[in-house]
Structures are given as C-alpha cells and as structure tokens.
Amino acid sequence: MKAGRLDQIETAKIAALEQAVLSDTPDEVSRLYQELGEVVLTAHILGIACRFRGLDMVQVLVENGASFRCDKDTVRYRSAELFGFTAYQLDYFLLILFTDIDGICEPQLRQYLGTLSDRDGHLVKPIDEAQLLKGIAYLCDHAEKVCFRPGDLLYLTILAGEEKITAALKDRGICISDEKKRMLTEGKGQDVWYIYTYYMERMDDRSFLRIMSELIREIGGDKKLHFTDRIGYVNRKRLLIPEYFSFFMEHFDQSKMRKTVLLQDMILNENTDCLRIAVEYGWLKTPRQRDEMIQFASENDKTECTAFLLEFKNRTADFAAEAERAEKKLMRELNADPNSMTQLRKTWSFQKKEDGTLVITGYKGECTDIVVPEMIGKYKVTEIGTHAFSPYAPRIKTLMQAHRQTITKITLPGSIRVIGSKAFRDLMSLTEIVIATGVEVIGEYAFSDCNLLKSVVIPEGVRIVGEGLFSSWKQTGAALEDVVLPNTLDIFKDVDSVKNAPNLFYNCSRLTVWIPPLESARIYCEKYDLKYQCYEIINDIPLRS
C-alpha cells in the first residue's frame, strides 16, 4: 500500500467480505474470512452486520479479526468511494447502528445503506430493534478488542434522538467519552463537527432544549459549549427567541459569538427582549459598543430599540468620565500622530508607483507585532514588495536582520492588492499573519520557511498564488497545520487549471488544507497528496464547521 491507496487485492478482499456478510450464513462468512486473511478495512462491515444481520454475524466477524479501527490516512480513498468526500472517522460508521437510517446526516452514507443488496439483487432490510440492541451490547462487551467506542456512540445517539439505544447504553453505565467532551467544549476533533451541527439544525425547538441539556448534563462541571460560525448559522432563528437566546448565553462560550452581528439582527427585528438579555450579560458595557448600536438603530429607523438603548445609556452612563476620556484620547492623537509622513519614514521604506499608490519595500521598526499602515501620508499602500520583511533581503544590516527574525505577528490592511515574492520568507518567529480581503496576488515563496506559522487564511478574492508559498526547506519541516484556500483561486477554475498548478506546500507534513467544495480543488489536493477538508460557502462566505 502506497500513499494511503488500497491496491486491487485489498479492495477485492473488502468487497468480498462485505458481500458475504450481506448474503451468506455466519459459518460461510467465517470460512471466507479465514481464506482472505487480514482485511484492512472492516469498520463499515461490522456496522452492516450489526444493523442488517444480527448478533451471530457480528460474533463471527469479531472472532476472525474484524474491528472498528479507522486509520484515516491509510484508507481515505476507500472512504471517499463509499461515502463521498467525508472525513474517515469512527463516528461515520457508528451512524450505521442507528434505527433511523433515513435520518443519518451524511447523504452518501444514507444512499449507500439504502442500496445494499445480496447476491440475488434483493435489498437487505434492517433487523428489528431488539436484535440490534443485542449486537450493540456485544460490541460494548468487546469494545477494547474491536476498537469500539461506546461513549462516542452514546454522544451520537443523544444528539440524533435515538432514545432506546441511549437508554440501553446508559443502563450499562456508559458515559460520553472524554474526547467528545473536549470536542463539545473546546472544539477539538472538528473532523466530525459536521455531524454535530447537522443534527442541531435538524432538531425542532423543544428537542433542541432537551437534547442539548442532556449533553450538558453528560459533560458535567461548569464548562461552556464551544460556539462557531456554523452553530450561529444553524441556530440563527433560535438566537432571536428570548428563551433560546438565554440558553445560549448560559451554556455556550460567548467569546466565540459575533456579538455585533447578533446585536444588529436583534435591532433590525425590533427585538428588545433579546437586547435586554444581551445587556444583562455585558454585551454593551463599553461606551463605544453602546453608541455604535444606538447609531445603527437610529439609522435603520428602529424606534423601539433606539428608545431602549437611549434609556440604557441615560441610566448607566457616567457622562463626565466619558467626556474626560474622549478629550484625553483626542489630545494624545493630536500630540503624536503615528500616521504622519515623518513618523512613518522612520519605520517603513516605500516607493511610489505609477498609479500614485505605494509599495512597501522594507521594514525598519522595532515592533514584533506589526500592523502595516493603509495610508502613508495621503498615499494608499497597495503592495508588499519582494523581500520586504525577509531577514535575508539584499543589503540589509546585521542588526535589522536579527530583529526581523523576532517578528511574531503581521497584520495587513484591506488596501493591499499584491504580496511580492519572498516578502515574509524566513521569519523564524512568525506565528500569525492576518491578510485582509482585497489581496489578489501572492508571489512565490512569500511565506517560505516561516516554520512557526500554524494557521493561515488566504482570503476570498486572491486569484494568483506562486510556487512554494508555504514551503519549508528546514529538516524539521513546517509547523503549519491549517490553511484555508479561497474559492477565487485561478488554479481552481476548472479541472484543466490544476494540471499546471504550483505546489504551495513543500515539506508541510502536518498540514490540513481547507478547500471550497469544488472537484478541481479536491484534484489539486490529491495531486500533491494533501490532507484536506471542504468548507461550506453560504452567502459567498466560506464557513468551516
């Protein structure tokens, strides 16, 4: 087996065992298994046996070596063949054990299970619930041997409303696994986050409160549930109902919520009840936040929310202290304008382009957390030049070379259109780069050998990227774990565009690439043997679950 692909013999073994389980007696399956020897992928076959054939077939498979062991890197190609482009994780095979197959979240998996047939072409039907529970009990009793995770199954059955399986597992003293608790509270293990948000979206409102409360009780302690953009999207209507909004405030991590967007939605819906709850939780505790919402409500002619916010301001504001702070801020800005041409020349080298905008050609400052200015004087900054930040730029002094190697974070403004080749190369301490929407071109090796970078988002609008963008030539390789590639890249235009697409990720062995749901993007990742996940595009915004 090479590069995670199954050869023809291994594929044939899997197909033969699968068909035998659907068609033959347990004794016949046992004899076949002994003839086949090791079968590298049996998770889905065990699931099929438990759901469609019963305890005797499950026992035979386990006695001959079948298990739920899931090696994502090794068998992801077979996984794609069976279920489409989904993460190869145990959770997807535990779903096979559900009584409600039509409600399974993954459409390819539903289709697969709905078309299973024996050798005569007859569709196989699920066994009754009592037989299914016997098979699940057997798997629980042999969990360690077969790499079965009863705690993960319990989490999934609670989530999907599979009440009888949930009750049976709890009767055996099974609790949700620590891994799933970390996923729910910290967002760890998000390869299967899609399952979580799918069932959350599918719940009716009353089921939502009951199921989420049950999960919270299972987690125990005072930890909050993790919140993501995807959770906000699937619960967008609930977040405007006071009862459910209060539930989110009490049980979910508010630090991950887009408070400004939610407050604006409340105002646009004249929802003073939810606005009052948000105020109680301190969402308008700063004068700036409060006054911005007052202005937004007034500009949108939302009279009830405007009145509520003004009353809140009159009741809570210390007007004298706010005026004093505003005056001090104004004086600081007047006394030291960091955007003056004189001040900025001390920090930046730049050249004027033919169109009247500026290209940054070098950094001379002493900060390690750098914010590139949008304007220098009256001129807009639109480009980061070649080697602009690199410690090994031509003719750079030794002292500045050493300082550039201590830079930890760089934030680029929305005015930037072009990032030149090798612009940030060899920034050995760089851990974060923030690229605002507006960039269209990123040159070759721009982030090469920035070996502490772990996560980068290439924003929508970028069309052209150069060879070796995130490559590492160090023996240890890059630390890069997470890169989002936009829908707008020219290399993703169509399948033919992939043929000449550059390799962006030399020696990035830890990397998972987030790509748009395009066939060309998947082909690109497979061309360079990259691990990848697809994000969703909703209202032209890429959302990762």
Q: Which of 423, 421, 468, 431 is nearest to 451 (CA)?
A: 431
- Looking at residue 3, its pLDDT comes to 38
| Token pair 């851990």 in the structure block, residue | 431
Q: What is the mean pLDDT of residues 278-293?
A: 92
Provide the b/e sequence for 247-259 (b: ≥16 CB within 10 Å): bbbebbbeeebee
Domain edge (last residue) among 122, 148, 175: 175
Q: Which of 72-81, 97-106, 221-230 has the lowest mean pLDDT?
A: 72-81
Task: Identify whether the C-beta of residue 387 lies closer than 8 Å to the C-beta of residue 422.
Answer: yes
178 pLDDT above the threshold of 80: yes
Q: Are residues 162 and 37 in the same domain?
A: yes
Local structure of 260: helix, strand or coil: helix
- Looking at residue 145, its pLDDT comes to 95
* In-domain check, residue 238: no
- Looking at residue 360, its pLDDT comes to 96
> Which position has the higher pLDDT, 195 or 155?
155
- Looking at residue 217, its pLDDT comes to 95
Q: Which of 19-33, 74-88, 108-122, 453-467 has the lowest mean pLDDT?
A: 74-88
Q: Are residues 286 and 398 in the same domain?
A: no
Confidence of residue 388 (pLDDT cuts 50, 70, 90): very high
Q: Which residues contact 390 (CB under 8 A, 6 or more apart)?
A: 404, 422, 423, 424, 425, 426, 427
| Residues in a beta bridge with 483 | 456, 513
- Looking at residue 171, its pLDDT comes to 96
Q: What is the mean pLDDT of the chain?
A: 88
Cα–chain center distance at 511: 13
* In-domain check, residue 41: yes
| Token pair 């930040």 in the structure block, residue | 389
Q: What is the mean pLDDT of residues 1-21?
A: 74
* In-domain check, residue 499: yes
Q: What is the mean pLDDT of residues 455-477?
A: 87
346 pLDDT above the threshold of 70: yes
319 pLDDT above the threshold of 80: no
How far apart are alpha carbons 346 and 93 in whole angstroms? 60
* In-domain check, residue 247: no
Q: Are residues 169 and 128 in the same domain?
A: yes
- Looking at residue 173, its pLDDT comes to 96
236 φ/ψ sector (left φ>0, alpha ψ -120 to 50, else beta): alpha
| Residues in a beta bridge with 543 | 536
86 pLDDT above the threshold of 70: no
Confidence of residue 334 (pLDDT cuts 50, 70, 90): very low
Q: Are residues 382 and 495 in the same domain?
A: yes
* In-domain check, residue 148: yes
Q: Are residues 378 and 403 in the same domain?
A: yes
How far apart are alpha carbons 535 and 544 in whole angstroms? 5
Q: Which of 174-183, 303-312, 319-328, 442-451 has the lowest mean pLDDT?
A: 319-328
- Looking at residue 1, its pLDDT comes to 36
- Looking at residue 331, its pLDDT comes to 53
Q: Which of 147, 151, 149 is nearest to 170 (CA)?
A: 151
Confidence of residue 107 (pLDDT cuts 50, 70, 90): confident
Task: Identify whether the C-beta of residue 51 lies closer than 8 Å to the C-beta of residue 132.
Answer: yes
Total domain count, the chain: 3
Q: What is the mean pLDDT of residues 414-441?
A: 95
Q: What is the mean pLDDT of residues 520-525?
A: 93
Task: Identify whether the C-beta of residue 400 lies closer than 8 Å to the C-beta of residue 409.
Answer: no
Q: Which of 128, 179, 181, 117 is nearest to 149 (CA)?
A: 179
| Residues in a beta bridge with 380 | 375
Q: Are residues 16 and 126 in the same domain?
A: yes
How far apart are alpha carbons 43 and 68 in whole angstroms? 4
Q: Are residues 484 and 350 in the same domain?
A: yes
302 pLDDT above the threshold of 90: yes
Question: CATH code at 402?
Answer: 3.80.10.10
Task: Tell me the pTM.
Answer: 0.60
How far apart are alpha carbons 120 and 107 in whole angstroms? 25
Domain edge (last residue) among 149, 175, 201: 175
- Looking at residue 365, its pLDDT comes to 86
- Looking at residue 72, its pLDDT comes to 57
Angle ∠(162,165,169) on CA atoms, nearest 5: 130
* In-domain check, residue 187: no
- Selection from 14-28, 33-47, 96-110 with the highest mean pLDDT: 14-28
| Residues in a beta bridge with 455 | 482
Confidence of residue 266 (pLDDT cuts 50, 70, 90): very high
Q: Are residues 84 and 104 in the same domain?
A: yes
Q: Are residues 65 and 139 in the same domain?
A: yes
5 pLDDT above the threshold of 70: no
Q: Are residues 371 and 306 in the same domain?
A: no
**Per 3-state DSSP, what percentage of the chain is helix, strand, and coil (rounded to 5)?**
50, 10, 40
190 pLDDT above the threshold of 70: no
Q: Are residues 398 and 504 in the same domain?
A: yes
* In-domain check, residue 471: yes
The DSSP-derived string for 437-474 is BTB-EE-TTTTTT-TT--EEE--TT--EE-TTTT---S
73 pLDDT above the threshold of 60: no
Domain edge (last residue) among 305, 335, 365: 335
How far apart are alpha carbons 432 and 409 in whole angstroms? 5
* In-domain check, residue 256: no
- Looking at residue 406, its pLDDT comes to 92
Pair of tokens at residue 96: 């096979």
Which structural domain range is residue 300 located in? 263-335
Cα–chain center distance at 438: 22
485 pLDDT above the threshold of 80: yes
How far apart are alpha carbons 72 and 40 in whole angstroms? 12
How far apart are alpha carbons 465 and 399 in whole angstroms? 31
Indicate the residue type of 378. Answer: K
- Looking at residue 57, its pLDDT comes to 97
Q: Are residues 359 and 275 in the same domain?
A: no
| Residues in a beta bridge with 211 | none
